[in-house]
Structure 1
Amino acid sequence: MLAAGCATLPSSGPTGHEIQKSITDPKEAGQLQIVEIADAASLPVATARRALPFSENEPSPTDMVGPGDVLDITIYEAGIALFGGGSRIPGDGTGFDPSAKVEKLPPNRVDDGGYIQLPYTGRLRVAGQTVSEIARRIRTGYSGLSQNPQVLVSIREDITNSVIVGGEVGKPGRLILSTNRESLSDAIALAGGYRGDAKDLEVRVTRKDVNGEFRLSDVLAGSERDLRVEPGDRILLLRAPRSFSVMGAPGRVEQLAFSGSAISLAEAIATAGGANPNLGDPKAIFIFRATAAENGQPVNTVYHINMMRTGSYFLAQRFVMRDKDVLYFGNAQANQPSKLIQIISQLFSPIVAITSGVSALR
């Protein structure tokens, strides 16, 4: 009766033997693979970091002009002036007024085609040029109309030399690059810093239709992920905490967040509370991991570790958990009869209590 009853008892999951048997089932062949964590050679290889999706270019000049920028143009003239209204000095038939005339043109926005409009000379293409190059071209255009004009050009509103920073930062918006050598961490700091825990944040960079995703903790660690930003980049900080799920003998189904930028299997087991001493089997601890091969095909791997072996505790410290791993504590086969006895006890305890009560009344 006990043997028959144990097979039908409710359970939080299969035993370690049942898991291993199901993996070797012909129906599962080719879909699952089991790896026994018995020594250092059986530990999963650390995931190779993907190469940076962006090529490293030379920093562009900080005074480069492009569409959307607003320019301030000032023209200095002496003698007969095109803008300043220069005239002959009264009583002097040979000289001209030597004082300089200053004409500040209205703010000039660079249109979508990269042109600005100037009086007397018409449209001038300035996109992709620095302010000094633009000043020389304007002076050349006015040289036949004015006596030795001097031109100063400055950027009033800088759109070209900027990046957009958004998401979980203190001051989202447009950020002007002062040197064009600012790194990703510099841009985040200039935008008011990040909000939340660095280990839970992801940085997404969009550059000319190419996207890159990095963990903020890696960026702040000073790795190659702390790349140099370029004008036109869009930087977005998103909350994307990493976690693992706990199932099986603990009697609970729970999703636990990583306590740091990376955690080991030993830390994961401790965070989950370990195997239940009444229900769990420390010899049957499994990690279910779904990954993808280079060809894009799914790869489902089950890692098994026997924590009754002393060496397994050292291996568990070197086993690195990944995001969305499932940590499963197998049920102990020996606890099934005790479950049946507990259920039978619960069924008959009311009868025993009533019988005892009747005897007391007599």
Structure 2
Amino acid sequence: MKLRTSPLAKAAAALAMVALVASCGLPRSGPNKREIFAGSVLKEGDAFIVAVNSRVTAATSVTPVLGFSKAFLNAGVVGADTIRPGDTLGLTIWENVDDGLLASEGQAATVLEEVQVDAAGFIFVPYAGRIKAAGNTPDRIRQLITEKLDTQTPDPQVIVRRLAGDGATVSVVGGVGAQGVYPIERPTRTLSAMLAAAGGIAIEQEVAQITVIRGKHKCTIWWEDLFSNPSFDIALRDGDRILVEEDTRAFTALGATGTQNRIPFTTQTLSAIEAIAQVGGLSSNLADPTGVFVFRNEPEEIAKQVLGRTDLVGTQRMVYVLDLTEPNGMFEARDFVIRDGDTVYVTEAPYVQWQKTLSALTGAAGTANTLASAAGN
């Protein structure tokens, strides 16, 4: 006896198979919109889900502000002839007598070569004693030595020459043409001049940062700002350390985009639309343009402004939603600022999952028919 299956039974079986396949967890790039919204605080989740608009964009448009403190900006240019500990001086002393304190018999001048300024900033001159050299100019040192010797020999004449100036140096490391230790000389007394002496910037200028470390103080500026803001071309000091490095900020791209990776910033500021373009745009075969999400841990003050609440304490988990199909959706994405550590996630279009389900069903049905044919033979 041959049993016949009704169309209703076939439909029910098909629906059951669809449900079975769907419940098996087909492969996908990540959660869908429904699952993300299920994690909202309103649904007992732990994240605030916020649709991006002009108010939200204004509240979250925070970019790193780099610059020098007043201590750096107000430092005057060091004189090229100011003596420093470690410098080497050359002294010549003339005495107006035949039998002088220092000069050999028959000679009027005494030459003291390579007199080094000690760590405390002093030099020693016979009969004049310890002379404070560091912080003084060669002319002032000449006056001090003359005053000391004047009481012991009539009308002494002194010449002070700076032979080497490596006592006042800075170190330049990182993304420059020639890393090294450089003396502060007349042509290299400012930051831009010293960087030029070190071979200039050897990394992408748009994301290059310059950090100057002076004792316990450290400040960072953008390379581009060094030339757009003349006050940032600060005077250097002995012992300054200059570090040139690329911006370390990055965001993560996941979901239905051209690539899924950790992406470094290529500009000082980065919008959501630029971030999407940077990873190859939305996948035309997979992406849902109504489901572009930005996941972020938002500082307390900004979270309060975004949500209009005063009862929040500490960093808050925020999920910002961009719908590119809205009339102003592209503009909102263009104005919304991406920050360091953000995760940009694009959901798959609903039909993609149905396609996967149907493909799985078609494959399963083909397998079943093959098995049935084999069993009937």
Q: TM-score, normalised by structure 1?
A: 0.82
Residue among 11, 14, 22 paired with 1:6: 22
Equivalent pairs, count: 346
Match of 1:125 in 2: 132
Residue among 30, 37, 57 paired with 1:42: 57
Residue among 271, 281, 298 paired with 1:274: 281
**Residues 316-352 of structure 1: per-residue CA shift (max 9 Å, x gap):** 2222322332111022334322211112333454666
Give the 5 Å matches for 1:139-288.
139-179=146-186, 182-222=189-229, 225-250=232-257, 252-288=259-295
| 1:51, distance to aligned residue in structure 2 (A) | 5.9
| Matched letter for residue 304 of structure 1 | V
- Asked whether the 8 Å contact 2:258–2:279 carries over to 1, the reply is no
Distance change in 2, residues 1:86/1:292 (3 Å)? farther
| Matched letter for residue 172 of structure 1 | Q
Distance change in 2, residues 1:26/1:46 (3 Å)? same
**Cα RMSD for the two superposed structures:** 3.3
Alpha-carbon distance in 2 for matches of 1:223, 1:292? 33
Alpha-carbon distance in 2 for matches of 1:292, 1:153? 60
Match of 2:349 in 1: 332
| Matched letter for residue 42 of structure 1 | T
Alpha-carbon distance in 1 for matches of 2:318, 2:137? 57
Alpha-carbon distance in 2 for matches of 1:293, 1:257? 25
Whether 1:321 aligns to 2:338 is: yes
| 1:304, distance to aligned residue in structure 2 (A) | 1.1
| 1:139, distance to aligned residue in structure 2 (A) | 0.9
- Asked whether the 8 Å contact 1:264–1:318 carries over to 2, the reply is yes
Alpha-carbon distance in 1 for matches of 2:233, 2:269? 18
Range moving further from structure 2, 131-140 or 210-219: 210-219
Range moving further from structure 2, 144-153 or 280-289: 144-153
Residue among 82, 93, 109 paired with 1:64: 82
| Matched letter for residue 18 of structure 1 | E
| 1:283, distance to aligned residue in structure 2 (A) | 0.5
Alpha-carbon distance in 1 for matches of 2:325, 2:223? 37
Residue among 333, 337, 361 paired with 1:344: 361
Please, which runs of 5 or more residues in structure 1 have no aligned partner? 88-99
Q: TM-score, normalised by structure 2?
A: 0.79
Identical pairs, percent: 27
Query: Equivalent residue of 1:107, what SS?
Result: strand
Alpha-carbon distance in 1 for matches of 2:210, 2:185? 22
Alpha-carbon distance in 2 for matches of 1:300, 1:223? 40
